Amino acid sequence: MMLNKEEIKKIIPYDDPFLWVDEVESITEDTIIGYKQTSPEDDFFKGHFVDFPIMPGVLVIEGVAQTATILLRKKMGDGHKKKLLLAYKVRSANFDKPIFPGAKIQYKAKLLGFYAYKVANFIGEVFVDGDKKCEVRFTIAVVDKEEFKAKRNQKDTKAEPKYELPALKIGNILAKIPIIQGGMAIRVSLHNLAGHVAKEGGIGIIAISGMSDPEEVKSEIRKAREIAGPKGVIGINIMGVIAGFIPLVKAAIEEKVDLIIQGAGFREDIFEMGGKANIPIFSMASSVKVAKKGEKMGASAIIIEGEDAGGHLGFPKGHPFRKTIDIVKDVVKEVKTPIIAAGGVFNGQDIVEMLRAGAKGVQMATRFVTTEECDVHRNFKEFYIKSKKEDGVIVHSPVGLPGRVIRNSLVERITKGNPPKPDPKKCQGCIGMTCDKSYCILDTLEMARKGDVENGLVFAGSNFWRIKEIVTVKELLKELVDEANKILKDKPLLKYD
Amino acid sequence: MTKLNITEILGIKYPIIQGGMAGVSESILVSAVSNAGGLGIIGSGFFPPSWLEKEIRKTKELTDKPFGVNLLMQNPNIPELLKIIIKEKVPIVSTGGGNPLPLFPHLKKAGIKIIPVVALPRLAKKMEESGADAIVVEGLESGGHIGKVTTFALVSQTKNKLKKIPLIAAGGIYDGRTAASMLVLGADGVQIGTRFMASTECQIHDKYKQAIIDANCEDIVVVARFTNYPVRVIKNKLAEEILELEKNNPFPEEINSERFAGSKVAAGNIENAPLLCGLCAEGISDIKSCKEIIEDIVRDTKKILLEASKRYE
C-alpha cells in the first residue's frame, strides 16, 4: 500500500461519510490505482435498493474521481492546497455490471491531459476482483480558492457607484491605481520606471523582450522590487515571437514576478508555465478572436490594444486598424475575463471613458516615457516633446507587424525602401523565423534607447506630441488620478464591480 | 497578368501530382512519378529532419526531374525541415495540416514554389493573395486526414475565387475519367494519392496494396471524427476498435494523431495499422508502374474529353 486512509485525508479535503477511496496502491506520472472496501453494513445499501442492495453508480464515479484528484494534487506540487478541485463534466459513463455489498472496489484513473493547470481530462475504470464494472470519462476543473470566494461574495453585493478611481483587483493582484505602465522594449521600461510606478500604486512592467541573459531579467525584477516595496506590483512583458522565450520567462517566474503580460505572437505554453507557478498571465489582443482565445487558455486578464499604441501593433496585413474603445466595447460583450484598455489612453478622461466602456483598468506607456524615472536616454524623452503631430507615422517592422514611430532619418530610409541592411554575422536570431530581415529591429531599437534618435527607431504612441514636459512618475500618476476623480465625482462609474 | 500554366510553373510534363503521403511517398515512389513526367512529392509527416535529408538526397540520385516535399505543419521540427529543404534546393514545397503562411517569406526568398493543400475555397483565395504559386484543393473523397467538402463542390467554387494561380484538384481522382471531370470543373491539374499507392514502385507492404485493390466503397470508413482530425481508412481491426470507442464519446486525447500520420505497414501487420485510403479504392483493380498509371490517365483523359465534346455537336 502506498497511501492509507489517513494519508489520503492529508492530501484531499474529504472525510467520512463522503470519502470514497481508502487506499492507494500506486501512482505514476499519469495513472493512479486506489481501492474502496465496502461493507454490507454501509448505510447507503439500505436504501439502494430496498430489495436489491447494489453500489450506487454515482458513488462509483465519485470514488474514481476522488482517486483522480489525489493524482492531480500530487502533480500540482505545493500550491495545491490553495486550489479547489471540482467536478466539471462527466463525458460518458458505462455501468457494465453491478457491484454488490462487501466488494473491494478497485479504481484505475488515467490522466489524458492537464491544460494550463486548470482543466484535467481522465478516463476511469472500475474493477472488482479483476472484473470490469464501470468505465467513465470525466473532467476536473481546478479553481483558485481565493478567487472563487471573491467571486461568490461579489455576486451577493450589488456594484456600488464609484465616485473615485477604483483599485484594480485581479486574482491576488491588488493595485491602488488601475493603471498598468505598459512594457516598452527594448530596455525602455526597466527597473527604475517599473519600480517607481509600482511604488506609487500602479503596476510597473519591465519589458524583457530583447534581453538574452536570464540573469538580467532577474536582476531587473529584484531592483524594481527594492524601489517598489513589499506592496508594489511588478510584472514583465514579453513578445511571443522571442527566440529565447522560455528561459527568460522561467527566470521571471523564479524571481516570483507578480504577473506576466504576453503579446505579439500568441503562445499557449505560457499558460502552463504561469499556472504551475500560480502567476497570472495577461494576454494582449487586438481583436475579439484573440481575446476569446486568451480567455479560453486561462488568461487572468486581457489587454486590448488599439491602433493608437506605440511600437508594434497587433494588426498584421489584412487586419484594419481599430480604435481601442471600439474593440473594448466588442470584447466585453463576449468575454468575461477582466479587460484592460491600452493604446491612446492619455489623460484622466480617457481612463474614465475606458472604464465606462467596461474595462477594469488601462495600460499606458507613452506618457511614462517622459518621466524622470524612465530608463531610456534623455534624448529619447526630449525627442517626444520636440516632435510634432505630423511626425507620428507607421512603418513596417521586420517582425511582420506595423510599428508606430516618430519620423527621423531612419524612418525616411525605411519608407523609401532603403533601410540599413542587417549584418548576418551580428544577427542574434532574436525573433527566429519570424524575422523578414529587412532591417535589424534589435539594433535600431537599442540605438534609439541609447540616445541616437536619428539612426535608431523611436517607438511612440499616437499622442506623443501632446506631451509638454518631463515629470516624475509620482506627479504623472497624481495628475491622472486627479483628472479622473474630478470627472467621477460628478458622474460616478455605475457598472464597475 | 497572364495566367501561368501549371506544367510551366513546376517544370513538369503532365499536370499530375502525386500527393505527399507520410510514410508512403518516399524517394523510390517520388522519383518514379517525377521520371514519368508527373510531380513526385515526399511526405515528411512527423518524420525527423535526418529522415527528410536522406530521402531528398536519395530522390536526387534517382531522378533529375523536379520533385517536391510536403510539410505537415503540426510537425514540431518545421524550422529544421525548412532549413534542409532550402539547403538541398528542393524546388517545390506543398503544405498541409495547419497554417503555412509563416513559411511563405522563407520559401519565396529561397525561390521555392509553394503549393498549399487546403480544403475550403476561402483558404485557397487567402493562399493566392499571400503569394502561393499554385493551390491544391482536397475534397473529402481523399484518404487520410480529410476536410468537410467534396472535391466536386471545392473545385468549381474555388475556380471562381482564384485570379491567376493554377488550381489542382485532389480527392477521388484515380483514372482518366475522374481526371477529365476535374478539368471540366475548372481544375488545371490533378493530385493523386491512393492510385499511386497501388503502384509497383510504392514501398508499402504488398498486403496493404492488396487491401486497396480488394476494398469496396463500403469497406472505407472515417474514424476519429471526435478528434477534429477525421481520417479515412480501410476498415480493419484497428478501425473497428476505434469505431467502437467512438460510441462512448471519448476524449480527443484518446487517439494519438501521430499514429495516423504514417502508414507504412511494418511486416504486413494489416489489421492493427491504420490503412489510410481514399474513396476511389473500388475503382482500382491492379498494380501498375507509375509510368503506366500516368500515361493511362493522360491518354484516357484526352480521349474522354474528345468523346464528350462530340456528344454535343
What pLDDT, in 10s, does the model give residues B61-86? 999 999 999 999 988 899 999 999 99
Whether residue A123 and residue B254 make contact (CB cut-off 8 A), yes or no, is yes
Whether residue A137 and residue B249 make contact (CB cut-off 8 A), yes or no, is yes
CA B18/CA B65 separation, integer angstroms: 14
Whether residue B251 and residue A113 make contact (CB cut-off 8 A), yes or no, is yes
For residue A194, give how far its alpha carbon lies from the nearest alpha carbon of chain B (Å).
Answer: 34
Instruction: Give the global pTM.
Output: 0.67
Q: Which of A112, A432, A434 has the CB atom closest to B253's CB atom?
A: A112
For residue A317, give how far its alpha carbon lies from the nearest alpha carbon of chain B (Å).
Answer: 10
Alpha helices in chain B (DSSP H): 6-10, 27-35, 49-62, 78-87, 104-109, 121-130, 151-161, 176-185, 194-197, 206-214, 237-246, 290-311
Coil, helix or strand for A421?
coil
Say which amino acid occupies B252: P
Closest CA relative to residue A472, chosen from A130, A200, A243, A282: A200
User: Quick check: is A48 catalytic?
Assistant: yes
Whether residue A112 and residue B249 make contact (CB cut-off 8 A), yes or no, is no
Q: Is the peptide bond before A166 cis (omega within 30 degrees of 0)?
A: no
For residue A92, give how far its alpha carbon lies from the nearest alpha carbon of chain B (Å).
Answer: 6
For B247, the closest chain A residue by CA position comes to: A92
For residue B235, give how far its alpha carbon lies from the nearest alpha carbon of chain A (Å).
Answer: 25
Mutate which of A433, A436, A437 to test chain B, going by most B C-beta atoms within 10 A? A433
Q: Concatenated DSSP letters for A230-279?
A: TT-EEEEEEETT-TTHHHHHHHHHHTT-SEEEEESS--SHHHHHHHHHT-
The predicted complex's ipTM stands at 0.70
Contact residues, chain B, for A94 at CB < 8 Å: 248
Say which amino acid occupies A445: L
Q: Give Cβ neighbours of residue A160 (< 8 Å, ≥ 6 apart).
A: none
What pLDDT, in 10s, does the model give residues A182-232? 999 899 999 999 999 999 999 999 999 888 899 999 999 999 999 999 999
Contact residues, chain A, for B83 at CB < 8 Å: none
The CA dihedral of A276, A278, A279, A285, to the nearest 10 degrees, is 70
Q: Which of B79, B105, B248 has the CB atom closest to A436's CB atom?
A: B105
Q: Is the peptide bond before B270 cis (omega within 30 degrees of 0)?
A: no
Coil, helix or strand for A97?
coil
Contact residues, chain A, for B253 at CB < 8 Å: 112-113, 121
For A434, the closest chain B residue by CA position comes to: B102
Report, in angstroms and rounded to the nearest whole number, the Rg of chain A calculated over CA atoms: 27
Coil, helix or strand for B53?
helix
Confidence of residue B167 (pLDDT cuts 50, 70, 90): very high
Give all domains of chain B, ordered by start, each with its CATH number.
13-203+282-311 (3.20.20.70)
For B80, the closest chain A residue by CA position comes to: A433
Whether residue B105 and residue A135 make contact (CB cut-off 8 A), yes or no, is no
Give all domains of chain A, ordered by start, each with its CATH number.
3-146 (3.10.129.10), 158-373+469-490 (3.20.20.70), 381-464 (no CATH)
Q: Which of A94, A137, A433 has the CB atom closest to B102's CB atom?
A: A433
CA B61/CA A124 separation, integer angstroms: 53
Catalytic residue among A48, A80, A319, A396: A48
Per-residue pLDDT of chain A (497 residues; tens, 9 = 90+): 899 999 999 999 999 999 999 999 999 999 999 999 999 999 999 999 999 999 999 999 999 999 999 999 999 887 899 999 999 999 999 999 999 999 999 999 999 999 888 899 999 999 999 999 999 999 999 998 888 887 777 655 566 788 899 999 998 899 999 999 999 989 999 999 999 999 999 999 999 988 889 999 999 999 999 999 999 999 999 988 887 888 999 999 999 999 999 987 788 888 888 888 889 999 999 999 999 999 998 899 999 999 999 999 999 888 899 999 999 999 999 999 999 999 999 999 999 999 999 999 999 999 999 999 999 999 999 999 999 999 999 999 998 889 999 999 999 999 998 889 888 888 887 877 778 888 999 889 999 999 999 999 999 999 999 999 999 999 999 999 999 999 999 999 887 76
What pLDDT, in 10s, does the model give residues B259-297? 665 555 555 688 888 999 999 999 999 999 999 999 999
